Homo-oligomer: A and B are copies of this chain.
Amino acid sequence: MSNIKHALPVTREKDFAAWYQAVISEADLAEESGVRGCMVIRPWGYGIWERIQKLMDARIKAAGVENCYFPLFIPLSFFEKEADHVDGFAKEMAVVTHHRLKGIDGKLVPDPDSKLEEPLVVRPTSETVIGQAMSRWVQSWRDLPLMVNQWANVVRWEMRTRMFLRTSEFLWQEGHTAHADEADARSETMRALEMYRDFAEGELAMPVVAGEKPENERFPGAVATYSIEAMMQDGKALQAGTSHYLGTGFAEAAGIHYQNQEGQQALAHTTSWGVSTRMIGGVIMVHGDDDGLKCPPMIAPHQVVIVPMLRDNDEDAAVIAYCEALARDLAALDVFREPLRVLFDKKPIKAATKRWAWVKKGAPVIVEVGGRDVAGGNVSVLRRDRLYNEAGKLASEIMARDAFVASVTETLMDYQTGLFEDAQARLLANIRRDVTDKSVLAEAFNGDKPGWVEVQWAKPTGEALDKVVEWLKGHKLTLRNVPLDAAKADGPCIFTGEPAVERVLVGRSY
Protein backbone atom coordinates (compact mmCIF):
# COMPACT_ATOMS: atom_id res chain seq x y z
CA MET A 1 0.00 0.00 0.00
CA SER A 2 3.00 2.29 0.26
CA ASN A 3 2.66 3.21 -3.39
CA ILE A 4 -0.61 5.02 -2.70
CA LYS A 5 -0.36 8.76 -3.15
CA HIS A 6 -2.57 10.03 -0.35
CA ALA A 7 -4.62 13.20 -0.48
CA LEU A 8 -2.90 14.99 2.38
CA PRO A 9 0.58 16.50 2.08
CA VAL A 10 1.73 14.79 5.29
CA THR A 11 0.98 11.44 6.93
CA ARG A 12 0.09 10.62 10.54
CA GLU A 13 3.22 8.45 10.71
CA LYS A 14 5.52 11.21 9.63
CA ASP A 15 4.27 14.12 11.74
CA PHE A 16 1.06 13.72 13.65
CA ALA A 17 0.78 17.38 14.67
CA ALA A 18 1.33 18.61 11.10
CA TRP A 19 -1.12 15.97 9.83
CA TYR A 20 -3.75 17.28 12.28
CA GLN A 21 -3.36 20.82 10.94
CA ALA A 22 -3.48 19.49 7.39
CA VAL A 23 -6.81 17.75 7.98
CA ILE A 24 -8.28 20.94 9.42
CA SER A 25 -7.10 22.94 6.48
CA GLU A 26 -7.73 20.46 3.63
CA ALA A 27 -11.14 19.42 4.93
CA ASP A 28 -12.17 23.09 5.20
CA LEU A 29 -12.98 22.67 8.88
CA ALA A 30 -11.48 25.87 10.26
CA GLU A 31 -8.77 28.45 9.75
CA GLU A 32 -6.85 31.10 11.63
CA SER A 33 -8.80 34.34 11.97
CA GLY A 34 -6.04 36.86 12.39
CA VAL A 35 -7.07 37.27 16.03
CA ARG A 36 -4.65 35.37 18.22
CA GLY A 37 -6.11 32.07 19.34
CA CYS A 38 -9.51 32.60 17.73
CA MET A 39 -10.56 30.50 14.76
CA VAL A 40 -12.99 30.85 11.90
CA ILE A 41 -15.08 27.69 11.83
CA ARG A 42 -15.90 27.00 8.17
CA PRO A 43 -19.17 25.48 6.93
CA TRP A 44 -18.06 21.83 7.05
CA GLY A 45 -16.57 22.21 10.55
CA TYR A 46 -19.53 24.24 11.76
CA GLY A 47 -21.92 21.73 10.20
CA ILE A 48 -20.32 19.02 12.34
CA TRP A 49 -20.74 21.24 15.41
CA GLU A 50 -24.41 21.84 14.51
CA ARG A 51 -24.92 18.07 14.34
CA ILE A 52 -23.22 17.62 17.73
CA GLN A 53 -25.35 20.41 19.17
CA LYS A 54 -28.57 19.03 17.81
CA LEU A 55 -28.02 15.49 19.04
CA MET A 56 -26.58 16.49 22.41
CA ASP A 57 -29.31 19.08 22.92
CA ALA A 58 -31.98 16.43 22.41
CA ARG A 59 -30.34 14.33 25.14
CA ILE A 60 -30.08 17.33 27.47
CA LYS A 61 -33.73 18.28 26.97
CA ALA A 62 -34.84 14.67 27.40
CA ALA A 63 -33.25 14.77 30.86
CA GLY A 64 -35.53 17.68 31.79
CA VAL A 65 -32.81 20.35 31.59
CA GLU A 66 -33.92 23.72 30.21
CA ASN A 67 -31.82 26.00 28.02
CA CYS A 68 -31.22 29.64 29.02
CA TYR A 69 -28.89 32.41 27.99
CA PHE A 70 -26.66 34.36 30.36
CA PRO A 71 -24.62 37.52 29.66
CA LEU A 72 -21.27 37.47 27.91
CA PHE A 73 -19.83 39.90 30.45
CA ILE A 74 -19.19 39.25 34.12
CA PRO A 75 -18.38 42.14 36.48
CA LEU A 76 -14.85 41.94 37.87
CA SER A 77 -16.19 41.92 41.43
CA PHE A 78 -17.69 38.45 40.83
CA PHE A 79 -14.16 37.12 40.67
CA GLU A 80 -13.18 38.67 43.96
CA LYS A 81 -15.38 36.14 45.74
CA GLU A 82 -13.59 33.40 43.85
CA ALA A 83 -10.14 34.73 44.64
CA ASP A 84 -9.89 33.68 48.30
CA HIS A 85 -6.64 35.46 48.76
CA VAL A 86 -6.72 38.20 46.17
CA ASP A 87 -2.97 38.71 46.21
CA GLY A 88 -2.12 35.26 44.93
CA PHE A 89 -4.78 35.38 42.23
CA ALA A 90 -3.89 35.71 38.54
CA LYS A 91 -6.04 34.46 35.74
CA GLU A 92 -5.85 34.74 31.98
CA MET A 93 -9.09 36.39 30.92
CA ALA A 94 -10.16 38.99 28.39
CA VAL A 95 -10.97 42.22 30.23
CA VAL A 96 -13.21 44.96 28.82
CA THR A 97 -12.19 48.33 30.22
CA HIS A 98 -13.72 50.89 27.82
CA HIS A 99 -17.01 51.27 25.98
CA ARG A 100 -16.08 53.58 23.13
CA LEU A 101 -13.60 53.81 20.27
CA LYS A 102 -12.66 57.33 19.30
CA GLY A 103 -10.41 59.04 16.81
CA ILE A 104 -8.00 61.19 18.76
CA ASP A 105 -5.03 62.98 17.16
CA GLY A 106 -5.43 60.91 14.00
CA LYS A 107 -5.43 57.60 15.86
CA LEU A 108 -8.31 55.32 16.77
CA VAL A 109 -8.12 54.53 20.49
CA PRO A 110 -10.29 53.44 23.43
CA ASP A 111 -11.80 56.75 24.47
CA PRO A 112 -10.34 57.63 27.90
CA ASP A 113 -13.71 59.23 28.77
CA SER A 114 -15.39 55.86 28.27
CA LYS A 115 -13.43 53.99 30.91
CA LEU A 116 -15.74 51.64 32.82
CA GLU A 117 -16.04 52.15 36.56
CA GLU A 118 -15.86 48.40 36.98
CA PRO A 119 -14.08 46.37 34.30
CA LEU A 120 -16.03 43.51 32.73
CA VAL A 121 -14.60 40.07 32.12
CA VAL A 122 -15.57 38.10 29.02
CA ARG A 123 -17.01 34.89 30.51
CA PRO A 124 -14.52 32.03 30.83
CA THR A 125 -17.50 30.03 32.18
CA SER A 126 -20.85 31.22 33.48
CA GLU A 127 -20.60 29.46 36.85
CA THR A 128 -20.81 32.66 38.90
CA VAL A 129 -23.61 34.45 37.00
CA ILE A 130 -25.69 31.29 36.84
CA GLY A 131 -25.13 30.74 40.56
CA GLN A 132 -26.39 34.26 41.19
CA ALA A 133 -29.49 33.66 39.05
CA MET A 134 -30.14 30.37 40.82
CA SER A 135 -30.07 32.15 44.16
CA ARG A 136 -33.03 34.22 42.87
CA TRP A 137 -34.86 31.30 41.28
CA VAL A 138 -34.54 28.80 44.11
CA GLN A 139 -36.70 29.60 47.12
CA SER A 140 -38.44 26.39 48.13
CA TRP A 141 -37.91 22.65 47.80
CA ARG A 142 -40.60 22.87 45.11
CA ASP A 143 -38.11 24.72 42.89
CA LEU A 144 -35.66 21.81 43.01
CA PRO A 145 -34.10 20.25 41.12
CA LEU A 146 -33.37 23.32 39.00
CA MET A 147 -31.58 22.24 35.86
CA VAL A 148 -30.39 24.70 33.22
CA ASN A 149 -28.02 24.55 30.31
CA GLN A 150 -26.42 27.13 28.07
CA TRP A 151 -24.92 26.88 24.57
CA ALA A 152 -22.44 29.72 24.30
CA ASN A 153 -19.04 31.07 23.36
CA VAL A 154 -16.51 31.43 26.17
CA VAL A 155 -13.02 32.95 26.26
CA ARG A 156 -9.90 31.82 28.07
CA TRP A 157 -6.79 33.64 27.11
CA GLU A 158 -4.48 30.83 26.01
CA MET A 159 -0.78 31.30 25.38
CA ARG A 160 -0.38 28.22 23.17
CA THR A 161 -3.37 27.45 21.03
CA ARG A 162 -4.31 24.61 18.71
CA MET A 163 -7.41 24.64 16.60
CA PHE A 164 -10.41 22.95 18.25
CA LEU A 165 -8.26 21.58 21.08
CA ARG A 166 -7.30 24.78 22.83
CA THR A 167 -8.46 28.11 21.49
CA SER A 168 -8.95 31.43 23.22
CA GLU A 169 -12.58 31.50 22.17
CA PHE A 170 -14.49 28.26 21.95
CA LEU A 171 -18.08 27.08 21.75
CA TRP A 172 -19.55 24.80 24.38
CA GLN A 173 -22.51 23.84 26.46
CA GLU A 174 -22.47 24.23 30.21
CA GLY A 175 -25.09 22.48 32.33
CA HIS A 176 -25.70 23.78 35.85
CA THR A 177 -28.06 22.10 38.26
CA ALA A 178 -29.15 22.58 41.87
CA HIS A 179 -30.59 19.80 44.02
CA ALA A 180 -32.08 19.33 47.45
CA ASP A 181 -29.54 16.78 48.62
CA GLU A 182 -26.23 15.12 47.87
CA ALA A 183 -27.73 11.91 46.54
CA ASP A 184 -29.79 13.72 43.91
CA ALA A 185 -26.86 15.94 42.88
CA ARG A 186 -24.48 13.00 42.64
CA SER A 187 -26.98 11.10 40.56
CA GLU A 188 -27.24 14.06 38.15
CA THR A 189 -23.42 14.25 37.96
CA MET A 190 -23.31 10.61 36.91
CA ARG A 191 -26.25 11.00 34.53
CA ALA A 192 -24.39 13.75 32.67
CA LEU A 193 -21.19 11.69 32.60
CA GLU A 194 -23.06 8.69 31.23
CA MET A 195 -24.79 10.93 28.68
CA TYR A 196 -21.36 12.09 27.47
CA ARG A 197 -19.96 8.55 27.38
CA ASP A 198 -22.90 7.24 25.42
CA PHE A 199 -22.86 10.23 23.08
CA ALA A 200 -19.13 9.93 22.40
CA GLU A 201 -19.39 6.22 21.67
CA GLY A 202 -22.71 6.38 19.85
CA GLU A 203 -22.91 9.62 17.86
CA LEU A 204 -19.15 10.26 17.55
CA ALA A 205 -18.16 6.57 17.28
CA MET A 206 -15.36 7.56 19.66
CA PRO A 207 -14.69 5.04 22.46
CA VAL A 208 -13.92 6.64 25.80
CA VAL A 209 -13.08 5.71 29.34
CA ALA A 210 -15.38 7.30 31.90
CA GLY A 211 -13.98 7.75 35.37
CA GLU A 212 -13.21 10.02 38.27
CA LYS A 213 -10.37 12.51 38.04
CA PRO A 214 -7.77 12.35 40.81
CA GLU A 215 -7.78 15.18 43.32
CA ASN A 216 -5.12 17.24 41.53
CA GLU A 217 -7.19 17.32 38.35
CA ARG A 218 -10.43 18.38 40.00
CA PHE A 219 -12.27 21.50 38.91
CA PRO A 220 -11.39 24.14 41.56
CA GLY A 221 -13.96 23.92 44.31
CA ALA A 222 -15.47 20.63 43.14
CA VAL A 223 -15.98 17.71 45.52
CA ALA A 224 -15.61 15.27 42.63
CA THR A 225 -14.76 15.68 38.96
CA TYR A 226 -15.46 12.98 36.36
CA SER A 227 -14.30 12.87 32.76
CA ILE A 228 -14.48 10.91 29.57
CA GLU A 229 -11.05 10.30 28.06
CA ALA A 230 -10.56 9.34 24.42
CA MET A 231 -7.42 7.88 22.89
CA MET A 232 -6.07 9.63 19.82
CA GLN A 233 -4.25 7.72 17.07
CA ASP A 234 -0.91 8.91 18.44
CA GLY A 235 -1.78 7.24 21.74
CA LYS A 236 -2.36 10.47 23.62
CA ALA A 237 -5.40 11.10 25.78
CA LEU A 238 -7.96 13.78 25.09
CA GLN A 239 -10.31 14.82 27.87
CA ALA A 240 -13.53 15.15 25.91
CA GLY A 241 -16.09 16.06 28.57
CA THR A 242 -16.34 16.66 32.32
CA SER A 243 -19.02 16.45 34.98
CA HIS A 244 -18.61 17.90 38.47
CA TYR A 245 -20.33 17.35 41.79
CA LEU A 246 -19.78 20.66 43.57
CA GLY A 247 -21.17 19.84 46.99
CA THR A 248 -22.65 22.89 48.78
CA GLY A 249 -19.59 25.11 48.32
CA PHE A 250 -20.85 26.92 45.22
CA ALA A 251 -24.33 27.21 46.68
CA GLU A 252 -22.83 28.83 49.75
CA ALA A 253 -20.78 31.31 47.72
CA ALA A 254 -23.74 32.20 45.47
CA GLY A 255 -26.40 32.03 48.19
CA ILE A 256 -28.52 29.20 46.77
CA HIS A 257 -30.68 28.47 49.82
CA TYR A 258 -34.10 26.89 49.91
CA GLN A 259 -36.81 26.18 52.44
CA ASN A 260 -37.10 22.42 52.82
CA GLN A 261 -40.29 20.47 53.44
CA GLU A 262 -39.78 20.88 57.16
CA GLY A 263 -39.71 24.65 56.76
CA GLN A 264 -35.99 25.01 57.44
CA GLN A 265 -33.41 26.82 55.31
CA ALA A 266 -30.93 24.53 53.59
CA LEU A 267 -28.13 24.88 51.07
CA ALA A 268 -28.58 23.36 47.64
CA HIS A 269 -26.12 20.81 46.23
CA THR A 270 -24.98 21.78 42.76
CA THR A 271 -23.39 20.18 39.70
CA SER A 272 -21.97 21.39 36.42
CA TRP A 273 -20.99 19.60 33.23
CA GLY A 274 -19.77 20.56 29.78
CA VAL A 275 -18.47 19.58 26.38
CA SER A 276 -17.05 21.85 23.70
CA THR A 277 -15.84 22.22 20.13
CA ARG A 278 -12.83 20.27 21.40
CA MET A 279 -14.89 17.16 20.59
CA ILE A 280 -14.31 17.95 16.91
CA GLY A 281 -10.55 17.72 17.51
CA GLY A 282 -11.16 14.29 19.01
CA VAL A 283 -13.20 13.14 16.03
CA ILE A 284 -10.38 14.22 13.71
CA MET A 285 -7.65 12.43 15.66
CA VAL A 286 -9.67 9.28 16.27
CA HIS A 287 -11.16 8.83 12.78
CA GLY A 288 -8.89 10.70 10.39
CA ASP A 289 -6.46 9.02 8.00
CA ASP A 290 -3.88 10.13 5.46
CA ASP A 291 -6.64 11.14 3.05
CA GLY A 292 -8.32 13.46 5.52
CA LEU A 293 -11.26 13.22 7.88
CA LYS A 294 -13.64 10.31 8.17
CA CYS A 295 -16.84 11.79 9.46
CA PRO A 296 -19.07 9.45 11.47
CA PRO A 297 -22.39 9.29 9.56
CA MET A 298 -24.42 10.42 12.58
CA ILE A 299 -22.61 13.77 12.68
CA ALA A 300 -21.75 14.17 8.99
CA PRO A 301 -23.44 17.31 7.63
CA HIS A 302 -23.95 15.37 4.40
CA GLN A 303 -24.02 11.57 4.60
CA VAL A 304 -24.15 10.99 0.86
CA VAL A 305 -22.73 13.36 -1.74
CA ILE A 306 -23.63 12.97 -5.40
CA VAL A 307 -21.02 14.21 -7.86
CA PRO A 308 -22.13 14.43 -11.50
CA MET A 309 -19.53 13.80 -14.22
CA LEU A 310 -20.42 16.41 -16.79
CA ARG A 311 -18.78 16.80 -20.17
CA ASP A 312 -20.36 20.00 -21.44
CA ASN A 313 -22.33 18.03 -23.99
CA ASP A 314 -25.87 16.84 -24.71
CA GLU A 315 -25.64 14.04 -22.17
CA ASP A 316 -25.32 16.49 -19.26
CA ALA A 317 -29.02 17.22 -18.92
CA ALA A 318 -29.78 13.51 -18.54
CA VAL A 319 -27.02 13.12 -15.94
CA ILE A 320 -28.35 16.07 -13.95
CA ALA A 321 -31.94 14.80 -14.07
CA TYR A 322 -30.75 11.34 -13.00
CA CYS A 323 -28.81 12.82 -10.06
CA GLU A 324 -31.74 14.97 -9.00
CA ALA A 325 -34.10 12.00 -8.95
CA LEU A 326 -31.50 10.01 -7.00
CA ALA A 327 -31.11 12.84 -4.47
CA ARG A 328 -34.89 12.99 -4.02
CA ASP A 329 -35.13 9.25 -3.41
CA LEU A 330 -32.26 9.32 -0.92
CA ALA A 331 -33.69 12.33 0.93
CA ALA A 332 -36.91 10.38 1.43
CA LEU A 333 -35.07 7.69 3.39
CA ASP A 334 -34.61 7.69 7.15
CA VAL A 335 -31.39 6.67 8.87
CA PHE A 336 -30.60 6.88 12.59
CA ARG A 337 -34.24 8.00 12.98
CA GLU A 338 -33.70 11.17 10.93
CA PRO A 339 -34.07 11.96 7.24
CA LEU A 340 -30.95 10.95 5.31
CA ARG A 341 -28.78 13.98 4.50
CA VAL A 342 -27.85 14.03 0.84
CA LEU A 343 -26.13 16.74 -1.20
CA PHE A 344 -26.17 16.94 -4.97
CA ASP A 345 -22.97 18.89 -5.60
CA LYS A 346 -23.62 20.95 -8.70
CA LYS A 347 -20.70 23.38 -8.34
CA PRO A 348 -19.00 24.17 -11.66
CA ILE A 349 -15.82 22.32 -10.75
CA LYS A 350 -14.23 19.19 -12.27
CA ALA A 351 -15.71 15.94 -10.94
CA ALA A 352 -12.33 14.52 -9.85
CA THR A 353 -11.53 17.68 -7.88
CA LYS A 354 -14.89 17.51 -6.18
CA ARG A 355 -14.47 13.83 -5.40
CA TRP A 356 -11.19 14.45 -3.62
CA ALA A 357 -12.57 17.45 -1.78
CA TRP A 358 -15.32 15.21 -0.36
CA VAL A 359 -12.81 12.46 0.44
CA LYS A 360 -10.75 14.97 2.45
CA LYS A 361 -13.88 16.31 4.19
CA GLY A 362 -14.84 12.74 4.99
CA ALA A 363 -18.34 12.54 3.54
CA PRO A 364 -19.20 8.88 4.31
CA VAL A 365 -20.50 7.91 0.85
CA ILE A 366 -19.60 9.59 -2.43
CA VAL A 367 -21.67 8.69 -5.48
CA GLU A 368 -20.36 9.54 -8.93
CA VAL A 369 -22.71 9.57 -11.90
CA GLY A 370 -21.63 9.80 -15.53
CA GLY A 371 -23.36 9.27 -18.84
CA ARG A 372 -22.52 5.57 -18.85
CA ASP A 373 -24.04 5.12 -15.38
CA VAL A 374 -27.23 6.79 -16.56
CA ALA A 375 -27.41 4.52 -19.60
CA GLY A 376 -26.88 1.41 -17.48
CA GLY A 377 -29.10 2.50 -14.55
CA ASN A 378 -26.02 2.44 -12.32
CA VAL A 379 -24.06 4.55 -9.87
CA SER A 380 -20.37 4.51 -8.86
CA VAL A 381 -20.14 4.28 -5.10
CA LEU A 382 -17.12 5.17 -3.00
CA ARG A 383 -17.18 4.46 0.73
CA ARG A 384 -14.85 6.80 2.58
CA ASP A 385 -13.93 4.05 5.07
CA ARG A 386 -12.86 1.67 2.29
CA LEU A 387 -11.14 4.05 -0.07
CA TYR A 388 -8.61 1.70 -1.68
CA ASN A 389 -8.78 -1.91 -2.86
CA GLU A 390 -5.99 -4.42 -2.31
CA ALA A 391 -4.18 -3.23 -5.40
CA GLY A 392 -4.08 0.27 -3.91
CA LYS A 393 -6.61 1.64 -6.40
CA LEU A 394 -9.68 3.67 -5.54
CA ALA A 395 -12.34 1.14 -4.54
CA SER A 396 -15.27 2.68 -6.46
CA GLU A 397 -17.98 0.12 -6.90
CA ILE A 398 -20.45 0.18 -9.75
CA MET A 399 -23.88 -0.72 -8.42
CA ALA A 400 -27.39 -0.83 -9.82
CA ARG A 401 -28.96 2.45 -8.79
CA ASP A 402 -31.93 0.84 -7.07
CA ALA A 403 -29.77 -1.65 -5.23
CA PHE A 404 -27.72 1.29 -3.94
CA VAL A 405 -30.80 3.15 -2.73
CA ALA A 406 -32.09 -0.03 -1.09
CA SER A 407 -28.84 -0.64 0.77
CA VAL A 408 -27.51 2.81 1.62
CA THR A 409 -29.06 3.19 5.08
CA GLU A 410 -27.57 -0.14 6.07
CA THR A 411 -24.24 0.97 4.66
CA LEU A 412 -24.31 4.10 6.81
CA MET A 413 -25.21 2.15 9.94
CA ASP A 414 -22.51 -0.39 9.16
CA TYR A 415 -20.05 2.47 8.60
CA GLN A 416 -20.90 4.07 11.95
CA THR A 417 -20.50 0.76 13.79
CA GLY A 418 -17.29 -0.04 11.94
CA LEU A 419 -15.69 3.28 12.89
CA PHE A 420 -16.49 2.63 16.52
CA GLU A 421 -15.27 -0.95 16.47
CA ASP A 422 -11.96 -0.03 14.85
CA ALA A 423 -11.34 2.72 17.37
CA GLN A 424 -12.48 0.54 20.24
CA ALA A 425 -10.08 -2.24 19.23
CA ARG A 426 -7.26 0.33 19.08
CA LEU A 427 -8.14 1.67 22.51
CA LEU A 428 -8.30 -1.76 24.12
CA ALA A 429 -5.05 -2.87 22.49
CA ASN A 430 -3.25 0.19 23.79
CA ILE A 431 -4.02 0.10 27.48
CA ARG A 432 -1.39 -1.86 29.39
CA ARG A 433 -2.29 -3.29 32.77
CA ASP A 434 0.87 -5.25 33.47
CA VAL A 435 3.05 -2.47 34.83
CA THR A 436 3.81 -2.60 38.55
CA ASP A 437 7.12 -0.77 38.63
CA LYS A 438 7.77 2.97 38.27
CA SER A 439 10.79 2.57 36.01
CA VAL A 440 8.85 0.26 33.71
CA LEU A 441 6.04 2.81 33.70
CA ALA A 442 8.41 5.53 32.48
CA GLU A 443 9.88 3.22 29.84
CA ALA A 444 6.43 2.22 28.62
CA PHE A 445 6.10 5.69 27.12
CA ASN A 446 9.36 5.67 25.21
CA GLY A 447 7.84 4.28 22.00
CA ASP A 448 6.09 6.12 19.21
CA LYS A 449 2.45 5.58 20.11
CA PRO A 450 2.67 4.60 23.72
CA GLY A 451 -1.02 4.40 24.63
CA TRP A 452 -2.02 4.38 28.28
CA VAL A 453 -1.05 2.37 31.33
CA GLU A 454 -3.55 1.44 34.03
CA VAL A 455 -1.74 1.13 37.34
CA GLN A 456 -2.73 0.35 40.89
CA TRP A 457 -2.28 3.10 43.42
CA ALA A 458 -2.98 4.00 47.01
CA LYS A 459 -4.81 7.21 45.98
CA PRO A 460 -2.47 9.54 47.85
CA THR A 461 -3.67 13.03 48.73
CA GLY A 462 -2.04 16.35 49.52
CA GLU A 463 1.74 16.41 49.42
CA ALA A 464 2.04 12.69 48.70
CA LEU A 465 -0.07 13.20 45.60
CA ASP A 466 1.96 16.28 44.62
CA LYS A 467 5.10 14.14 44.64
CA VAL A 468 3.49 11.56 42.34
CA VAL A 469 2.25 14.25 39.98
CA GLU A 470 5.69 15.87 39.97
CA TRP A 471 7.39 12.59 39.12
CA LEU A 472 4.88 11.95 36.32
CA LYS A 473 5.36 15.45 34.98
CA GLY A 474 9.08 14.74 34.76
CA HIS A 475 8.17 12.01 32.27
CA LYS A 476 5.58 14.19 30.53
CA LEU A 477 2.86 12.00 31.98
CA THR A 478 -0.46 12.80 33.63
CA LEU A 479 -3.08 10.96 35.61
CA ARG A 480 -6.16 10.65 33.40
CA ASN A 481 -8.92 9.11 35.49
CA VAL A 482 -9.95 6.17 37.65
CA PRO A 483 -12.13 4.15 35.26
CA LEU A 484 -15.61 3.44 36.63
CA ASP A 485 -15.39 -0.09 35.31
CA ALA A 486 -11.82 -0.84 36.41
CA ALA A 487 -11.11 -4.06 38.30
CA LYS A 488 -10.61 -3.84 42.05
CA ALA A 489 -7.12 -3.17 43.33
CA ASP A 490 -5.29 -6.30 44.49
CA GLY A 491 -1.65 -5.33 44.76
CA PRO A 492 0.76 -2.63 45.93
CA CYS A 493 0.67 1.03 44.87
CA ILE A 494 3.11 1.58 42.00
CA PHE A 495 4.21 4.88 43.50
CA THR A 496 4.42 4.17 47.23
CA GLY A 497 4.37 0.40 47.67
CA GLU A 498 1.48 0.69 50.11
CA PRO A 499 -1.59 -1.46 49.44
CA ALA A 500 -3.40 0.01 46.41
CA VAL A 501 -7.03 1.07 46.72
CA GLU A 502 -7.94 1.55 43.05
CA ARG A 503 -6.61 1.62 39.50
CA VAL A 504 -5.80 4.84 37.65
CA LEU A 505 -4.91 5.56 34.02
CA VAL A 506 -1.60 7.20 33.20
CA GLY A 507 -0.93 8.75 29.80
CA ARG A 508 0.38 11.61 27.74
CA SER A 509 -2.32 14.11 26.99
CA TYR A 510 -3.50 17.01 24.87
Contacts and interface: CB of A to CB of B under 8 A. Distances in A.
A152 B76 CA distance: 24
A99 B92 contact: yes
A93 interface: yes
Total copies of the chain:
2
Interface stretch (A41-49, A240-248, A420-428): A41-49
A291 to B, nearest CB: 23
A403 interface: no
Task: List the 4 shortest-distance A-B pairs measured between CB atoms, nearest first.
Answer: A38-B71, A86-B103, A43-B66, A41-B69
B99 A110 contact: no
Contacts of A110: 95, 97, 119
A436 interface: no
B108 A101 contact: no
A129 interface: yes
B79 A101 contact: yes
Given A76-B108, A86-B106, 14 more contacts: A46-B69, A47-B66, A69-B171, A72-B153, A83-B108, A85-B103, A86-B108, A90-B103, A94-B99, A95-B114, A97-B110, A99-B157, A110-B119, A142-B348
Contacts of A67: 43, 46-47, 50
Interface string A63-96: 0001111111111110110010111111111111
A65 B462 CA distance: 55
Interface of A: 31, 33-35, 38-43, 46-47, 49-50, 66-77, 79-80, 83, 85-111, 114, 119-122, 129, 132-133, 136, 142, 148, 152-153, 155, 157, 169, 171, 347-349
Contacts of A83: 103, 108
Nearest to A121: B101
B99 A80 contact: no
Contacts of A86: 103, 106-108
A95 to B, nearest CB: 4
A49 B66 CA distance: 13
A235 B8 CA distance: 61
Given A95-B97, A95-B98, A142-B347, A46 B68 contact: yes
